[in-house]
Chains A and B, each alone.
Chain A
Amino acid sequence: MSTAYTGSGRLARLALRRDRVQLPVWILSTVALGAFAGSATDSQYPTEADRLAVLRVAVETPGLLMFRAAPTGTSDGQMTAFGILAFLALMAGFMSTLAVVRHTRQNEETGRAEMIGATAVGRHANLSAALTVVVGANVVLAALIGLAFTGNGLPAAGSFAAGAGVGAAGIAFAGVAAVAAQLTQGARAANGIAATVVGVAYLLRGLADVFGEVQPDGYTMTSAWPSWLSPIGWTMQMRPFAGDRWWVLVLPVALFAVLTAASFALTARRDVGMGLLADRPGPARASAALLSPLGLAWRLQRGTVLGWTVTITAFGLLVGSIANAVADELATNENVTGRLDDLAGGGGTR
């Protein structure tokens, strides 16, 4: 047995010690959000008729499908999955990518990995410790979501399928972050890459739902195929409370396995502290603009500013399209007006 993993246990305990506040906060707030959204379904849409009405609007409204998901039916569990599950998977994704990068690339960037690497730990110990902790966090998250949904009175099988779907997405994204952490020399850039993948996965799932096919019943949908390209799509494709397709879990687990194998192989091929993408050398002199306070602020923050500008613009376009779609819908569909505000989450649809 090689010693490449020697010390993983100690480093995993170190990661838990460092994260003893952060990870529980992520997990508990995600679970709380799920539990709250689930219990709110009942009071918002008490009758079958309410639910049918709202879902009939939803399947025709791109913005709603984007931020909710393709509906699978009107039961309590199905309404909960429609309302919040994709968002829980998104949160699991961010929890995972931030934690993996925190315990891998951030250690390398600060030089801590070098001090650790000079002790009797194996080459792969750091990465395997980070992944162990993050996979563990997702398993806990999955179990707690299952318990919380069951506590809301939903069927146990569907509840735990929903939890597993969310946790599995988190695990798949942990693999994504493990690879991202091999690429860049800085933790911020690695976080940026991983978070972008999570965001794109969410968008892909959303678009696949928008372009999905409305079933003859008029209120359930089958997502378009791109849903199968997204770990968050897979969460929904498990169809919790609507068949509980457990076999779909194979996909995130396989993706995690492939990405993890790749990241270990990349770790073995590179030097500690270095990224596979080399840092570009920059200018040797400050430009005139840099020497003004505003210029300096721009130079230091431009990456962040550009990132946010793009994000907010995209968000604005999306919200705009929702508003238009909703307005069209309202013009033709008077009986759902009262429900729309609840569903859009106070997004100002009137």
Chain B
Amino acid sequence: MNMTTETIEAMERPPVTMASRLEGELLEVSMGPQHPSTHGVFRMNVALEGEIVRKLKPVFGYLHRNHEQIGEHTSYLGSMPYTDRLDYFCSMSNNWAYALSVEKLAGIEVPERAEYLRVILAELTRLQNHASLLGFLLSDMGAWGTPLMYAFREREKILDLFESLSGSRMMCDYMRFGGCRLDASDEWLARAKQIVDRFPEFLDEFEELILGNEIVIGRTQNVGKISAELAINSGITGPMVRASGVNYDIRKVDGYGFYRRFKFRIPLGEHGDTYDRLMMRALEMHESVSILQQAFAQIQPGPVLNPKVKVRAFRPPVGEAYGRIEAPKGELGFYLISDGSPNPYRYRVRPPSFINLTILEDMCLGHTVADVMVILGSVDIVMGEVDR
């Protein structure tokens, strides 16, 4: 146990009286996924009464890389590859959010084909993010390996698509201001379509594997409830807020990109518990598949990059812009202030999983230690994005 006196004081140990001694003192435990290959390096200071969590304090910052400061010292284009490293599961949607805010700042048009490619890539990202999240969540519950490996098998196919398009599996660095770096060939689109068409097969199999499982239901239903009111007040976004029944999806609200051209539904939860959050991901994947199929049907040949945008010495006009997208984990936004120089004056990231993590304590109080891991898994955090 590695606790500083400060944190212990912060947890306000209740005065020891005869009664509380009989009931048992609070035990402080420092726990958390601490291996970089789990959710990241993260610590929770939990005060336990027996097995029940009475207080919980998340401790962030072990993966801090000074992302925003670096962004203020590199050129606008130079920050693009750094955004890949925010949420390293979803580099394509990070690229899009950043490109979107720079395009807003400089008033850049994006060609039609590039918009379609962006939608395709962002939805593929959502598929692989949600699939692996379900795998991780199951592995947090103790279903070691099997569901995760099934999810990774599907994710691998999507990562192969990313690799053959952008050159890298996870650090894609694919989008540029005013479009995309390279065009997708017809073979690539055909291959992607084939993979997407077969994805529902995997979804059905996966749902059969886990969603009816009594242990999964027992461990997730009524665990970690968030009321709709709390969800709105705390500013959480993405599948988390929709699981509480709040109809808020930036794809519908802002209609950025070409999302207004597609027909899709927003799944909404009812109880705001872990099971609803889990189901949100499963249902969203079905909707993503439908968006992808519409996009494959609508995409037309054409240019993918606005030729007016300069590669070297790109200087947007003085001003500020906030561009946001519905990333798989929630609202991902970039706030940029330009003073007319090649570097942004201010570069701020609004990462979804950081803000979603702020209500961890509200979700965990009154549950057992074992539930904390499940609840944390259902938040869907990536520490690269939380700590930046």
- Is the A/B pair a real complex? no
Chain A residues within 8 Å of B, Cβ to Cβ: none
Chain B residues within 8 Å of A, Cβ to Cβ: none
